[in-house]
Structure 1
Amino acid sequence: MSEIARTINGALRKVPAWPIYLIGVIPPAWLFYQGVTGNLGVDPVKKMEHEIGLLGLQVLIATLAITPLFKITKINLVKFRRALGLVGFFYIVCHLAVWLFLDVQIWSQIWADIVKRPYITIGMGAFALLIPLAVTSNNWSMRKLRKTWKSIHKLFYPAIILGGVHFLLLRKGIQLEPVLYVVGIVVLLAMRVKLPKRARRTANA
């Protein structure tokens, strides 16, 4: 471990994770205020819906990046991973709530949209996979579930892939920004793959 990484890790040990939850409430609240005061353009509901959803995806990608960051730099942000993951889930819940209560509003249309629109189908699939992760993101669940807890939290990987695809399809047509998000997700997932010992020796040769 480099001296820089050791210094940063030493400083991070003194930083609690709980402020992340408080800070995490600010962006949705600010977007809602901006929408109410007419500062989100001609379609504030869509703007709010998309901005919160994108923010959720960004936070979840940041959560995914913690392990690869440690592998490359030895900077350890693991103590913040749970808080980031829950804040990301909170943003996705807000994104869904805006779609349900402010955008669609007609409840009979919701199921039709989920079935007929692939990007909504995929987005709801990603959300469904995140629910058990959020519910079990606590010390009590870790103690009770033990090995099962790790299996449950591997659902994060397909969930974030589906989230990236949801964003890609939402933009209608190939656009650079969502493509970069999907590529980034794939790269971060690939960096987490553990090579067999023989493959590692070959790669390091």
Structure 2
Amino acid sequence: MLLKKPLRLSRPWLLVLKTLVHLYLLGYLALTFYQAVTDQLGADPVQGLLNFTGIGTVNLLFATLTISPMARWLPCGDLMRFRRMVGLYAFAYAACHFSTYLVFELQLNFALLSSEIAKRPYILVGFSALMLLLALSITSFMAIRRKMGKRWQQLHNMVYLCLFLALLHYSWSLKTVWGDPLIYWAATLLVLYTRRQKLKNWWLSKRRKPAPVAKRAS
């Protein structure tokens, strides 16, 4: 632990910090789209948008997975209040990434989209990550969480698969694992190492067979 005593964030501080996160993530996204529309994003603004939203999705997925270890190391349990919000922004950036590709690259041609997904494996991988993030976002609300029970945690452990698919999509689109992709993969291994006990418990629970139901004597 970095601190001798647990750090507590008051409700006003939580409100201020959450507001700053909203302003930064929404503002940065809006500014980038504004720069693209006004031709201030370089020679290829569409590619600039794709790069920004794609890398932003990966960074936000990393942030989502590092909040829990940070909450333990500080320790500051109040950091967990930010995890759902950051996870929803990861989906929002992924949705913007996909929408940019669909609107500007494919001109809303859904037949061509189906063909691209079928022909280009890296697009299929990215689309799979988006669908998983959509499922995680829809089920992130407390009312749905209560209804799902234990199945909720099993589903939300798929965030690790989302990160893997997002990185695979990123590396595949660049056709290399060197440079920035290598840094991201190394960071992924570090994140997984910090969550190794949780991953182990999840894996054991998946392999554990349910106890057989005893038959009643006739």
After alignment, is 93-102 or 23-32 more displaced? 23-32
Shift of residue 12, structure 1, vs aligned partner:
6.1
Taking a change above 3 Å as real, the CA distance of residues 41 and 2 of structure 1, as seen in their structure-2 partners, is closer
- Structure number with greater Rg is 2
Alignment check: 8 A CA contact 1:28 1:94 kept: no
Label 1:44 to 1:2 Cα distance change in 2 as closer, same or farther (>3 A): closer
Residue 50 of structure 1: CA displacement?
1.4
Three-state SS of the structure 2 residue aligned to 1:32 is helix
Alignment correspondent of 1:200: none
Shift, 1:5, TM fit: 6.0
- Partner deviation per Cα, 1:133-182 (whole Å, 9 max, x = no partner): 00011111122112111111111111111111111111122322011112
2:174 and 2:122 mapped to 1: Cα distance?
9
Report the counterpart of residue 101 of structure 2 in structure 1.
99
- The aligned counterpart of 2:205 is none
Question: Cα offset for 1:123?
Answer: 0.6
| 2:14 alignment partner in structure 1 | 15
Structure 1's consecutive aligned runs of 4 or more residues displaced over 6 angstroms after TM superposition are: none
- RMSD of aligned Cα (Å): 2.1
Deviation at 1:73, TM superposition (A): 3.5
Cα distance in 1 for partners of 2:184, 2:82 equals 22
Q: Give the conservation status (yes or no) of the 8 Å contact 1:165–1:182.
A: no
For residues 48 and 66 of structure 1, what CA distance do their matches in structure 2 show?
27
1:12–1:159 distance in 2 versus 1, CA, 3 Å: farther
Tell me the distance in 2 between the aligned counterparts of 1:35 and 1:4.
47
SS in 2 for 1:40: coil
Q: Say if 2:174 is the partner of 1:175.
A: no
Alpha carbons of structure 1 residues 12 and 91: separation in structure 2 relative to 1, 3 Å: farther
Summarize the Cα distance change of 1:112–1:2 in structure 2 as closer, same or farther, 3 Å threshold: closer
TM-fit CA distance, 1:67? 1.9
Residue 74 of structure 1 and its aligned partner are, at CA, apart by 2.4
For 2:86 and 2:59, the matched residues in 1 are separated by 10
The answer to whether structure 1 residue 64 and structure 2 residue 62 are counterparts is no
**What letter corresponds to residue 54 of structure 2 in structure 1?**
G
Q: Corresponding residue for 2:82?
A: 80
How far did 1:126 drift?
Answer: 0.9
The whole-number CA distance in structure 1 between the counterparts of 2:90 and 2:2 is 31
Q: Separation in 1 of the partners of 2:30 and 2:182? A: 28
SS of aligned partner of 1:10:
coil
Check the 8 A contact 1:63/1:85 in 2, yes or no: yes
Q: Deviations over 1:9-61 (max 9, x none)?
A: 22366313752345432122111110111111111011111111111110111
Whether 1:32 aligns to 2:30 is: no
Cα deviation, residue 118, structure 1: 1.9
* Equivalent-residue separation in structure 1 for 2:191 and 2:180 (angstroms): 17
For 1:181 and 1:68, how far apart are their aligned partners in 2? 18
Give unpaired runs (5+ residues) of structure 2: 201-218
Aligned CA distance change for structure 1 residues 89 and 4 (closer, same or farther; 3 Å): farther
The 2-side partners of 1:96 and 1:45 are apart by: 12
TM-score scaled to structure 1, two decimals?
A: 0.85
How many pairs are equivalent?
Answer: 194
What is the correspondence of 1:1-205 to structure 2 with a 5 Å cutoff?
3=3, 6=6, 9-11=7-9, 14-16=13-15, 18-19=18-19, 20-76=21-77, 77-105=79-107, 106-194=109-197
**Rounded Cα–Cα distance in structure 1 between residues aligned with 2:118 and 2:5:** 48
